[in-house]
Structure 1
Amino acid sequence: MSSPWQSQLKDLKSRSQHMLETKVLSDCTIAVSDGVFVEGHKVILSAASPVLHEKLTKAGGDHPKITVSDVEPDIFQLMLKYIYTDAIDVNEDTVCDLALAAKTYQLPFLLKGCCDYLTPKNVLQAYSLALHSTESDDLKKKCEEVNSFKATGTKTATATRQRQRRDSDSDAIATVTSFEEACLDVVVAVFSFDVLDIDSELDLLTAADRYAKHISKGKYDDGNSLSIRNVLEKIRFLTMTAEEFGKGRNSTSVLSDSDACAILSNIVYKDLTVPMPKGFSQTRDARKRELKIRCRVADIDNLLSENKEAFSEIMLWQNLKWRIYVCRRTENSVKYLGVFIKCNWDSGSSTWSCNAKVELTLLRVDKGTPLMKEYTHLFKRGKSNWGYPNFLEVSKVLDPNNHYIEDGAITIEALIKADKPQGL
């Protein structure tokens, strides 16, 4: 006869969680640190992690005892919760430690899940992990999205977390402590990005000056041969005006007089034969600017059948408001999923405009090729809502063979590449 917990808990996840919490049927012991021991289940741990499987196999016996000395007890408990229940119970303060544990114990889907919890506060620490790991492509990609930052301390607007955070309310990367504590190679990598949401390279010069005042305190890898000069070499000084450069030169001390003189000469005189300082960027191409927004539409069946609407969170970017708008539209008696981008829709100004290229993507939960459509539009008053009223037929959205729906929801992403707004 089955015991009560086995008959009352309807699914495997609930039963596994019960086994984790009560230690019923446990058949192995893990020593996490001095005095901290955790009871576990060999088959569950071995099925999740090849590293734990190897440790348990080598220990042998009916009730093996193994040691896990490279993970703090609280982080190990979070890792166990994922192993037993698939739940990622983490916040922006613990995500990097959990990601490191996932990498160490070869839990690739946990590592990938940590990507949803990256913020400007922790992204540089996570990016350091991604740079030094060959198994962290997803983490590296997400870090690079978040790292597209405003270095002046204004609000960043890169959409990366699906819940619990609005990027327009987050401190910019360069204003939080983690920026000062980042490894030098991470800062060099960030300054190398072709896409950065900055108003001018002056923002990067200011950030580099601030960073230079802290690296002498040893808050970077002492074995790294890089220096603050390697950071400066990534700044595109030749995209600055003479006035911008003069302002930066007067407010910072990170540039030598000889370097500053050569840079200013090349800014003012494009055909000058005086060379740029050795190693410094000679490009006059400004960085690209883009915004990514994600919209998870819960209960999509109800939205489409009841003709309701859904919106993403509002993102503040380039002094404009942006959001995804999802609805149902009908054309020639055929029902469609409509997907639009709304830009600065409630502005009272009649002079503003912003030319933008928009890529709208309906993601697939099986990681197959998503449906993507793109357009270019001049957003302005009277034309602030633009997109596809017939993005995809409702029948195709709801067809389970197309793998667009998970837990009753669909996810839409928008990638916006915009010119500098006019008339603000």
Structure 2
Amino acid sequence: MSGRLVKPIKVLIALNTAWNLVNFRSGLIRALVARGYEVVAVAPQDEYADHLAALGCRFVALPMDNGGTHPVHDVLLLLRFRRLFGREKPDVYLGYTVKPNVYGSLAAHSMNIAVINNIAGLGAVFIRDGWLVKLVRGLYKLALRRSSKVFFQNPDDLKLFKDSGLVRPEATELLPGSGIDLNRFEVVPLAQEMHPAGKFRFLLIARMLRDKGVGEFVEAARLIHKRWPQAECCLLGFVDAQNPTAISGTQVDAWVAQGVVNYLGVSDDVRAEIATADCIVLPSYREGTPRTLLEAAAMGRPIITTDAVGCREVVDDGINGYLCKVRNAENLAAKMEQMLSLSQDQRKNMGLRGREKMEREFDEQIVIQKYLNAIDAIFSTRPIKSSMSSYQT
């Protein structure tokens, strides 16, 4: 008697940090594993890599120069991806963030591996203009032209790529950001509701980058302190020295010494920090769909963010938060004062409407199902070659 043993479909997922995998893709990884897929998670080694085994996947470290533009480093990354794919032989590659999307996809296409991309915001380089933007757009066009699916996290980025001819329109689809786990991020009472005598806390959760609007937040905090001494403005997130728009740790320390803001460092469980805040602020210049705002809204926190690509999708102005002008500290301060002027019940209701919006539009299960559908579509039209072996009985 003879037969064929079909090994599980192997999915290789790559991002620029293991931290990103753990914090933003855990739900998807668990869903892929639950479906019986073999999942290999790839990123540079960091202290979060050890957490990935608990999700049921296998971690493979892959060095990459995330913030650099040196052509030799990028060619080496392309070669590392090719060696990795030759060793792992995945059936499908899921790429996130710029370098895995570009160089991982180019390597996968060259080896006839199916590719699904996720354009989760275009970063600092697309905010500006010049030769680097042209180069990155050209690389994206090469990397995405044969992808089975290219997901976008907001309609502006999707339109930009379509209008610029960087992607085949029929391969594109819109996602509600990375989605939010509504069971993990539950509504908790507002901080002032728990501690009425405490200060009102504004909290910005992001990497310490100029393009996240950290500078505008600090300047708005200076203005707020003059009229609202009971208000506290806090920063939470990595000091990312590799990014071209990074704010140095020295600068952050200086702001703290001046009494303008409090720096809370980093957190492995952002829920505890959101719970201590009364309003979450993100004055970013451009985003995919900011996960921190989804988390904040899911926990019933009112939000202030910019009327910018990726940010405006999370806030219905005046309903679950306020939209402010981009790169405008004065307007941001005015919106923060508007939030301070609301009653506790008004802020509570604003937060609850944010939770309702998350349940209606941003549930993580929506994202997961779209990925499962995309993988199903790939293997309904092409055979699984790399994962099959035969046996005799």
When the two structures are superposed, what TM-score results if normalisation uses the length of structure 2? 0.29
Q: Name the one with the larger helix percent.
A: 2
Query: Greater relative contact order (Cα 8 A, min sep 6): structure 1 or 2?
Result: 2
User: Which one has a bigger Cα radius of gyration?
Assistant: 1
